[in-house]
Chains A and B, each alone.
Chain A
Amino acid sequence: MAKRKNLIYTSIVVAGILIILNFISSIFFFRADFTEDKRYTLDRSTKRILREVELPIIMTLYVSENLPPDVNRTVQDLKNLLTEYNNYSKRKIDFEFVNPNANEEFEQEAIEAGINPVPLEVREKDQIKVQRVFLGMSIQVGDKSEIIPLIKPGIVMEYTLSTLIKRLTIKDKPKIGYITGHGEPSLDKLGQAMTELSVLYDVEPIHLLAEPNLSDYKSLLLIGPMATISGSQLRRLDAYLAEGGNLFIAIERVNGMLNDGIGVTVNTGLEVWLQTKGLYVDDSFIVDKKCGTVTVQQQGYFSYPQQINFPFLPVVSKFADHTITDGIETVVFQFASPISFTGDSTLNYQPLAFTSDISGKLSAPISFNIGRVWRAQDFLHPNLTVAAAISGNMGGEKEARICIVGDGNFIVNGYGASKIAIQRDNINFLANAVDWLSDDTGLMSLRTKGVSSRPLSEITDGRVFFLKYLNFLLPLVSVIAYGLFRFERRRSKRTKRMKPGFIK
């Protein structure tokens, strides 16, 4: 009896010590991130932003208590993240938790800050209850403030937080000129792109002839011009580049009008001007086996929508190693044209994005046939360049930079009923390019953080079948083979032992 008591007491003491140890370790812990892309470690962009913080940053987290564990875990992760932010900013960040459900004053404070309660399903006493919870935060620097109205569970918060801090702490945003007057899409058709660029830059629409001083602009954007650009305007661009200006061009060399079923060449004069820089944009349509789809209404007894691969919508996932393409995985184009370099070595040319191994080009004009059967001879031009960058002296003594994309629509959302969501990496590509042109690596690496996917290579069906059954059967066969070998060895030992005269 005494032994049993002793056993129970000792076990309770050991359990107590271990519980305390676990409790302490849940507060003071060390974490090492072994992921290849360091997904769970603060990004270098964040560290740079935090090092540059001068004024104190006050973060108020309006978070209800008694949240479900998964939401609680998100809040705990955010708290850990903010502690790291505080360390890197040399204690410039001060964060506090407020429970708006505690009293009306706090609730009012949260609502005034712009954080509204959200309904959340909570299971309590065998019943699903809908609880009004607050799950937001406000960030204040001096007299400026930003809010995160809802901290979504499972979302990587680093990009959102760092972007907001950057937006609040940046003193003078560099100006970016958006060239208009030649049928370019208006700025409100570029919603996603403008939201991204507005973190670091002031984007202003400009007209090449009306603007007195282009050198005020760190970079100029020329997106999808459709009308002629006059010689005098192009000469202004030349002068801008000669002074070390930077230019982002998304050129619409061919225009695919799917509703009309035709694709035609676009001549604005820009293509001729680009040739003087050594950049040749072919007036042909890129077609790629790796492509997006279009929805076609199938007619017959039943009418139903069907997704059909459309090689005129190349999906590009092959990129050169460059700061612009850092972390970019997939950019989707529509009716793009290939780019090549015809200049000399005075300019540094770097192709950035390429079509797949099974791609080709079709010269404009062209009629589209959705039901066309694509054959191998349609894809005779692998690895066509869709985006490129050049740098060097362009008529002056200062280094100028141009980044060009062979599709004028790749960042256009449109508006109204025709508004579409653009692939996140399309926007990242533009934003990274503007950062590179403007010599500002602000959020470059952070933009593409945590979105990495690791797609399998394209392999033949035969190889898929082989690998499936190799991996399924080989481990099984090897274990069974080893078992049989061992059984046979034991049997032969036993037989030997049973023989008359066996002495070990």
Chain B
Amino acid sequence: MKQIIHIASRELSTFFDSLTAYVLIVIFLGFSGFFTWVYGADIFFVGQANLNTFFMVAYWSLFIFIPALTMKSIAGELKAGTLELLLTKPVSDWQLILGKFLSTLLLIVIALAPTVIYYFTLWAIGPVDHSAILLGYVGLLLMSMVYISIGLLTSCIASNPIIASLTALSIGIFFHIIFDVLAANFVGFLGSFFSYMSLSTHFESISRGVVDTKDLIYFLSIVFFCLFTSKMILSNRNL
């Protein structure tokens, strides 16, 4: 655990020492704030004390934002030739993968943290359903976990960060859009299967304020599968 935290904190520090993290967070917050408060179906236009608009904006922007964050995690090390150096340290493959995963997840938490002001503002001007909002954030974090794990997997497979990012985005498109479209095109078992595979089905279920074990198992299964495969790829590279 100590090694995982150490790797995560080093990674996080590297993120914040470069301009990338700031640019991405500023773009994310800019988009979220603009569409939640200023323009379009913003909170005052809708007139309801909920953060549905924000969750929808964040749902889309995180999907694009995360592959850009994860692309360098392993592929960057491979390109710079630092991975071998890192693996000579007393760090297991699992610890490395989990450390990288945790650092990106913490970055997402940091990116989401300033949006807590939205919640307090809303609380001051309307009867907020606190649990539904809290679970909306939980839904965003679970969705982020899925995309981070996919990003890590593609970063392990590809040696070039750009290719890793594009591959992660392509896989993400399946969970984000294509399964939804397929679900709308098929009926019966296949329709239900694609609907179950679609991330939006499970995200919507959680963000309405209901915790369902099948949603949690769906999210955690993808995360586990991607991290496990990443670890296997990394281990095979070592041998």
Q: What is A's interface to B at a CB cutoff of 8 Å?
A: 3-4, 6-7, 10-11, 14-15, 18, 21-22, 25-26, 29-37, 39-40, 65-70, 72-73, 122-124, 453-457, 459, 464, 467-476, 478-480, 483, 486, 490
Contacts and interface: CB of A to CB of B under 8 A. Distances in A.
Contact of A35 (B26, B186, B210, B214): B210
A7 B232 contact: yes
B49 A454 contact: yes
Interface stretch (B141-149, B165-173, B217-225): B217-225
Given A472-B37, A474-B114, A32 B211 contact: yes
A69 B184 contact: yes
14 contacts: A7-B229, A11-B228, A22-B196, A26-B196, A31-B210, A37-B129, A39-B209, A65-B188, A72-B187, A454-B127, A476-B30, A476-B33, A478-B114, A486-B16
A34 B38 contact: no
Given A11-B229, A34-B132, A475-B117, A29 B214 contact: yes
B218 A22 contact: yes
A471 B36 contact: yes
B109 interface: no
B43 interface: yes
Prevailing SS type, chain B contact patch:
helix
Contacts of B183: 69
Nearest to B138: A34
Interface of B: 16-17, 22, 25-26, 29-30, 33-34, 36-38, 42-44, 47-50, 114-115, 117-118, 121, 125-132, 134-135, 183-188, 191-192, 194-196, 201, 208-214, 217-218, 221, 224-225, 228-229, 232-233, 236, 239
A476 B26 CA distance: 6
B58 to A, nearest CB: 12
Given A4-B236, A11-B228, A25-B213, 10 more contacts: A3-B239, A7-B236, A14-B228, A29-B214, A31-B213, A67-B187, A72-B192, A453-B48, A457-B125, A467-B37
Given A15-B225, A31-B213, A35-B208, A475 B29 contact: yes
Contacts of B196: 22, 26
B191 A69 contact: yes
B114 A36 contact: no
B232 A455 contact: no
Contacts of A476: 26, 29-30, 33
A31 B212 CA distance: 4
A224 B36 CA distance: 46
Contact of B126 (A7, A29, A457, A471): A457
B150 to A, nearest CB: 14
Shortest 3 CB-CB distances between A and B: which pairs? A475-B114, A34-B131, A69-B195
Nearest to A26: B214
Contacts, number: 172
B195 A72 contact: yes
A83 to B, nearest CB: 14
A245 to B, nearest CB: 38
Nearest to B211: A32
A470 to B, nearest CB: 7
B137 to A, nearest CB: 12
Nearest to A480: B26
B221 A21 contact: yes
Contacts of B22: 479-480, 483
A471 B217 contact: no
Given A25-B214, A471-B36, A68 B187 contact: yes
B232 A29 contact: no
Contacts of B186: 69
A454 B50 contact: yes
B38 to A, nearest CB: 5
Contacts of A470: 117, 121
Contacts of B201: 73
Contacts of A34: 131-132, 134-135, 209-211
B224 A464 contact: no
Given A471-B117, A479-B22, A68 B213 contact: no
Contacts of A472: 33-34, 36-38
